[in-house]
């Protein structure tokens, strides 16, 4: 069976985790601090704050930019449901705007019309690792005084040309970027998240809120020779990452360049092979973006039944996934106000499938995937 994704972990991660266990300090401590420093260096941001997952990172980012009950946040529905959930967790309303069918990302041309007096922020989701059109989105945010949160859950190692310079996603171009370390993404620690920002006050706030609003961390108190009594200036949360996970994360970061390089090689392979499968549209990068190919999303020919193709491929030992979900089509959002039509979001969700792509994938496996897709489509 060829899986949709497989984490690229091994001895280095196992040794790192083991060393932390043997050290006797397992919760947030020196490994988290070191991981944060290395993560910030990897993406080029001034600050990085590690948390339990990307969903809580999005929550903290929204809190930091001041999203409160009554506010609206503009985002795509065509994304993992955690994005809309994080907005709702702040008591705010997600306002869904349609996507560009080529990049699967928020269509900047539709964003300005969605801004109201209640709008507080735009959540730019770098879907499947493909950078959003930040050059078009940032001026809209600036003109309307809106905060910009980048959902970079999938985008570690992706690059964007901004001005005349290529830079990694996460520096960030908006106010805050949020990354995920779930096994479905390029780097994983089981579950984990990171917030990057160049705003020192936001970073301080993230650090306070992730540990119950506590002014002094437990590792600092543990190592102090004088008595320290902590204070709680704000009500916070427990959104901490553990040192065991951070140690794994440090080992994973060392593999990033290698993983991105191999994924790009495999994506090129798909692009070439898929040109021989009639009617299938392979994804392409705009001139200003280099994706990490977190997911490889192909559009099926008109008339092909998504579930049927997926089942036929599964019968051939190939796991696939449906196109990216749409939050507004799920029961959890059946009561949501849908202010704008979302035809491209729905069409991408229903008409696309994700093909397997992982570091350890061989060229033979890839040929088999394309062959099974061709077979599945030959019968329609």
Ligand X SMILES: *Cc1c(COP(=O)(O)O)cnc(C)c1O
Residue 80 or 270: the one with the smaller Cβ distance to ligand X is 80
Q: Which two tokens stand for residue 56?
A: 């809580």
Minimum CB distance to ligand X, residue 117 (Å): 27
Cβ closest to ligand X, residue 189 vs residue 313: 189
Dist CA 16 CA 289 (whole Å) = 34
CB of 180 to ligand X, least distance (A): 3
Name the one residue in this structure whose structure tokens are 């300090």. 25
SS3 of 294, please?
coil
**Nearer residue to ligand X within complex by CB, 125 or 173:** 125
Degrees to nearest 5, angle at CA 265 with 279 and 196 = 105
Q: Which is nearer to ligand X, 173 or 277 (CB)?
A: 173
- Least separation, in Å, of the C-beta of 163 and ligand X? 26
Q: Nearest-CA neighbor of 220 among 87, 9, 18, 28?
A: 28
- CA 169 to CA 185: how far, in whole Å? 15
Token readout for 105 is: 């990302």
Tell me the residue length of the chain. Answer: 380
Binding site for ligand X (CB under 6 A): 53-55, 79-80, 82-83, 125, 151, 153-154, 180, 182, 193
CA atoms of 254 and 11, how far apart (whole Å): 13
- Residue carrying structure tokens 């349609």: 98
Cβ contacts of 217 within 8 Å, gap of 6 or more: 28, 29, 211
Residue 54 or 297: the one with the smaller Cβ distance to ligand X is 54
- Minimum distance between the CB of residue 63 and ligand X, rounded to whole angstroms? 16
β-pairing, 72-76 vs 93-97, is parallel
Rounded Cα–Cα distance for residues 278 and 162 (Å): 35
With residue 290 as reference, give the H or E element that holds it: strand 289-290
Give whichever of 94 and 370 is closer to ligand X, judged by the CB atom: 94
Minimal distance, residue 301 CB to ligand X, in Å: 26
CB of 334 to ligand X, least distance (A): 21
Closest distance to ligand X from the beta carbon of 75 (Å): 10
42 vs 128, beta carbon nearer ligand X = 128
């Amino acid at each position: 069976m060829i899986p949709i994704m497989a984490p690229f972990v091994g001895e280095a991660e196992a040794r790192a985790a083991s060393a932390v266990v043997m050290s006797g300090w397992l919760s947030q401590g020196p490994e988290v601090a070191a991981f944060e420093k290395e993560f910030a260096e990897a993406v080029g941001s001034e600050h990085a704050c590690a948390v339990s997952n990307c969903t809580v990172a999005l929550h903290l980012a929204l809190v930091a930019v001041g999203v409160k009950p009554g506010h609206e946040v503009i985002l795509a529905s065509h994304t993992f449901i955690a994005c809309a959930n994080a907005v709702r967790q702040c008591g705010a309303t997600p306002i869904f705007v349609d996507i560009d069918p080529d990049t699967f990302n928020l269509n900047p041309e539709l964003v300005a019309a969605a801004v109201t007096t209640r709008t507080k922020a735009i959540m730019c989701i770098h879907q499947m690792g493909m950078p959003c059109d930040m050059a078009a989105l940032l001026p809209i945010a600036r003109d309307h005084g809106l905060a910009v949160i980048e959902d970079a859950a999938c985008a570690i190692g992706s690059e964007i040309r901004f001005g005349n310079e290529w830079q990694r996603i996460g520096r960030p171009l908006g106010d805050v970027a949020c990354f995920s370390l779930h096994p479905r993404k390029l780097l994983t620690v089981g579950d984990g998240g990171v917030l990057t920002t160049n705003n020192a006050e936001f970073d301080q706030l993230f650090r306070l809120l992730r540990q119950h609003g506590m002014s002094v961390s437990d590792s600092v108190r543990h190592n102090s020779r004088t008595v320290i009594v902590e204070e709680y200036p704000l009500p916070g949360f427990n959104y901490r990452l553990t040192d065991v996970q951070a140690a794994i994360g440090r080992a994973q970061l060392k593999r990033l360049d290698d993983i991105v390089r191999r994924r790009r090689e495999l994506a090129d392979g798909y692009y070439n092979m898929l040109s021989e499968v009639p009617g299938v549209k392979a994804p392409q990068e705009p001139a200003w973006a280099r994706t990490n190919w977190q997911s490889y999303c192909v559009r099926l020919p008109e008339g092909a039944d998504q579930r049927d193709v997926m089942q036929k491929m599964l019968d051939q030992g190939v796991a696939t996934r449906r196109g990216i979900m749409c939050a507004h089509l799920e029961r959890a959002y059946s009561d949501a106000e849908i202010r704008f039509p979302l035809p491209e979001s729905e069409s991408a969700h229903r008409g696309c499938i994700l093909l397997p792509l992982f570091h350890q994938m061989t060229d033979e496996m890839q040929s088999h995937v394309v062959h099974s897709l061709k077979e599945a489509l030959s019968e329609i």
